[in-house]
């Protein structure tokens, strides 16, 4: 059966039974975040959130826009600090960005003044990784994503989907243990989005990493995730934690499975039926 | 056939217009018998240009030298200030209002004082050029250094980039197009600054030549000098544009 989280408060019983011996990739406890609103008053944006991400799992977070799911990702990335609560990454306090974490942003954020290859090599440049090995890895990643022939072009020569593929290669260059995806296909058209999410599913399986995906696309979340976290409206909390027990590798036919539709309806029900206060 | 000839025609349009205008001017000057000391015909200007070629050349070099040295000096001086103001909030708070205030001072009005302070050499003229160029370059440099999209800063931060790395890999390339915009504005100002300071006090330069020749009713020579100044200004502008196209070879 699918485990559904407690709708009100406290840590949702994880869909994957948490093994206390396994050090989670990410562990958040009672994390909250507020922002200064327009009138100067604090706007409670997120939390309290309790979250445990197990090694090797693909966690998809869905929720209405403005629910703080991007804020959650920024906290996990170490780009922002929470107001209250504790955050750990591999069992040590999470207090800033780490080269063990790769991020794909909603926009590709490629530098227009340099080539696709140089863009992918940016982490190696910043982290002073050995050049030859980094270059070799970059070319391998570009080949995996079908961008090998475009390595020496400027990003503006690429299509939207190709740019996002290049951004994915850049995020993977330093061989991060955790991949954070902040609506990576949000700016793309529907066809490209579907194509890329299937491709990402395949790549994730080949590369075997832990991943956290932020999305507002339910089908995308089901197609990619082992677990789907459903967030409430602001202040965003985790309302449900659903296991996606669909077989891998997943492909275009996965969406036709009755189980896929079942999960989809379940997620939609949680978001829409109980989404309105 | 037709497309090629029409392309040839469109390429020739601008020179053709200039040619027609010059011919009209020439004809008008002769037909209306305008005295040369008021408005010389193009032929008279050309004649004067040939006759005074050595003087025009040497004085052009003086003005060009003042303009270029002052312009380059303005870049060198504004660079550290722009970096300081864009990176340090305190420096920004203290210096930026002062600089914006100073920018509003008509630099031309200060020229006599500059000459009073720096005496009769090339320096007062260079100082006026620096004053005129400094602000457009500085303001655009600051705008450029601050034009970095937040997403790019987030990316660099997520990679753990040092401020030095962010500056070198991100701020400088983002700033470059802005810097060139500032330079193109400034270089046209620079020529004006040089001429003004030559009007105020000088023994050479195209501005001085214009002043002397009009005083002596050598109007064709004044016109020749003005034509040279125009060419100088256009050449400097295109020179910067030429460099820009090689440096900023991307579309942001």
Tokens of B213: 């020749």
Q: Which helix (H) or strand (E) holds B246?
A: helix B219-247
CB contact under 8 A, B159 and A123: yes
Give CA–CA dist A202/A211, Å, rounded.
Answer: 13
Give pLDDT, residue A15: 41
| Chain A nearest CA to B108, separation (Å) | 39
pLDDT value at residue B2: 53
Closest chain B C-alpha to A71 CA, distance in angstroms: 13
Q: List chain A residues with pLDDT less than 50.
A: 1-16, 275-277
For residue A198, the model assigns a pLDDT of 85
| Cβ-based contacts of B248 with chain A (< 8 Å) | 113
User: Tell me: the pLDDT tens digits for B111-162?
Assistant: 889 888 988 788 899 999 999 999 999 999 999 999 999 999 999 999 989 9
Closest Cβ–Cβ partner in A97, A107, A156 for B158? A97
Give the integer Cα–Cα distance in Å for A64 and A213.
14
A127 to chain B, closest Cα gap in Å: 8
Selected for mutation to probe chain A from B155, B173, B180 (highest A CB count within 10 Å) is B155
Q: Which residues of B touch A127 (CB under 8 A)?
A: 159-160
Closest chain A CA to residue B152:
A109
**Structure-token pair, residue B193:** 């600054």
The answer to whether B173 contacts A111, with C-beta atoms less than 8 Å apart, is: yes
The share of chain B scoring above pLDDT 70, in percent, equals 96
Please name the residues in contact with A114: beta carbons below 8 A apart, sequence gap of 6 or more: A154
Nearest to B157 among A97, A107, A123 (CB): A97
Whether B1 has a pLDDT exceeding 50, the answer reads: no
Coil vs helix vs strand at A181: strand
**Cα–Cα distance measured from residue B212 to residue B137, given in angstroms and rounded to the nearest whole number:** 33
- A105 → closest Cβ in B155, B160, B176: B155
Q: Which residues of chain B have a CB within 8 Å of the CB of A125?
A: 165, 169
Q: Give a three-class secondary structure readout of A15-55.
A: CCCCCCCCCCCEEEEEEEEEEECCCCCEEEEEEEEEEEECC
d(CA B18, CA B15): 5
Residue of A nearest to B158 (CA): A97
Percent of chain B with pLDDT over 90: 68
Tell me the average pLDDT of chain B.
90
Structure tokens at B46: 């050309």
A77, A103, A126 member nearest B161 (Cβ): A126
Q: Which of B57, B27, B34, B47 is nearest to B223 (CA)?
A: B47
Contact assignment for B158 to A113 by CB distance below 8 Å? no
Mutate: best of A73, A77, A102, A109, partner B, most B CBs <10 A: A109
A window 184-243, beta carbon within 8 A of B: none
The pair of structure tokens assigned to B49 is 């240009």
Phi, psi dihedrals of residue A23, rounded to the nearest 5°: -75, 120
Of A111, A126, A154, the CB nearest to B159: A126
A93 neighbors A248 (Cβ within 8 angstroms) = no
Please say if the pLDDT value at position B28 is more than 50.
yes
Q: What confidence tens digit (pLDDT) does each residue in B47-79 have? A: 999 999 999 999 999 999 999 999 999 999 999
pLDDT of B251 higher than 80: no
Portion 118-147 of A in contact with B at CB < 8 A: 122-123, 125-127
B210-227 pLDDT tens trace: 999 999 989 999 999 999
B44-66 burial, b at 16+ Cβ within 10 Å, e below that, comes to bbbebbeebeebbeebbebbbeb
pLDDT at B185 over 60: yes
Query: What does the pLDDT read at residue A277?
Result: 37
Residue bearing the bigger pLDDT, A2 or B204: B204
Minimum Cα–Cα distance from B177: chain A residue: A113
Size of interface A-B (CB pairs under 8 A): 55
Residues A189, A160 contacting (CB under 8 angstroms): yes
CB contact under 8 A, B165 and A79: no
């Amino acid at each position: 059966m699918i485990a559904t989280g407690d709708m009100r408060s406290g840590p949702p019983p994880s869909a994957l039974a948490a093994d206390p011996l396994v050090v989670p990739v990410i562990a958040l406890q009672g994390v909250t975040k507020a922002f200064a609103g327009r009138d100067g008053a604090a706007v409670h944006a997120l939390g309290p959130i309790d979250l445990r991400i197990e090694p090797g799992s693909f966690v998809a977070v869905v929720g209405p826009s403005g629910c703080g799911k991007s804020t959650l990702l920024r906290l996990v990335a170490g780009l922002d600090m929470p107001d209250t609560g504790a955050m750990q990454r591999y069992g040590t306090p999470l207090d800033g960005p780490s080269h063990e974490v790769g991020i794909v942003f909603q926009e590709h954020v490629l530098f227009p003044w340099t080539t696709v290859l140089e863009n992918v090599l940016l982490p190696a440049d910043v982290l002073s990784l050995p050049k030859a090995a980094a270059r070799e890895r970059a070319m391998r990643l570009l080949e995996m994503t079908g961008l090998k022939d475009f390595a020496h072009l400027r990003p503006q020569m690429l299509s939207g989907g190709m740019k996002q593929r290049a951004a994915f290669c850049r995020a993977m260059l330093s061989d991060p243990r955790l991949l954070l995806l902040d609506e990576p296909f949000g700016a793309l058209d529907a066809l490209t989005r579907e194509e890329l999410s299937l491709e990402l599913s395949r790549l994730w399986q080949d590369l075997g990493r832990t991943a956290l995906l932020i999305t507002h696309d339910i089908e995308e979340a089901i197609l990619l995730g082992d677990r789907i976290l459903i967030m409430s409206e602001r202040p965003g909390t985790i309302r449900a934690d659903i296991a996606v027990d669909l077989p891998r590798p997943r492909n275009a036919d996965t969406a036709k499975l009755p189980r896929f539709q079942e999960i989809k309806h379940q997620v939609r029900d949680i978001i829409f039926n109980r989404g309105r206060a | 056939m037709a497309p090629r000839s029409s392309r040839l025609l469109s390429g020739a349009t601008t020179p053709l217009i200039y040619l027609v205008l010059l011919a009209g001017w020439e004809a008008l000057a002769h037909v209306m018998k305008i005295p040369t000391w008021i408005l010389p015909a193009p032929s008279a200007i050309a004649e004067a240009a040939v006759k005074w070629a050595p003087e025009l050349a040497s004085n052009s070099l003086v003005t060009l030298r003042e303009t270029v040295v002052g312009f380059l000096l303005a870049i060198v001086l504004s660079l550290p200030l722009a970096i300081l103001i864009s990176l340090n909030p305190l420096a920004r708070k203290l210096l930026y209002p002062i600089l914006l205030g100073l920018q509003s001072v008509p630099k031309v009005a200060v020229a006599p004082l500059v000459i009073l302070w720096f005496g009769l050499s090339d320096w007062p003229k260079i100082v006026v050029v620096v004053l005129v160029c400094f602000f457009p370059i500085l303001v655009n440099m600051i705008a450029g250094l601050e034009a970095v999209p937040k997403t790019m800063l987030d990316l660099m931060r997520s990679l753990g980039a040092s401020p030095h790395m962010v500056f070198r890999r991100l701020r400088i390339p983002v700033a470059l197009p802005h810097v060139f915009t500032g330079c193109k504005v400034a270089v046209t100002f620079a020529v004006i600054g040089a001429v003004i300071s030559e009007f105020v006090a000088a023994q050479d330069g195209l501005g001085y030549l214009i002043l002397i020749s009009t005083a002596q009713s050598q109007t064709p020579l004044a016109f020749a000098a003005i034509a040279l100044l125009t060419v100088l200004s256009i050449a400097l502008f295109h020179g910067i544009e030429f460099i820009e196209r090689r440096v900023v070879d991307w579309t942001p």
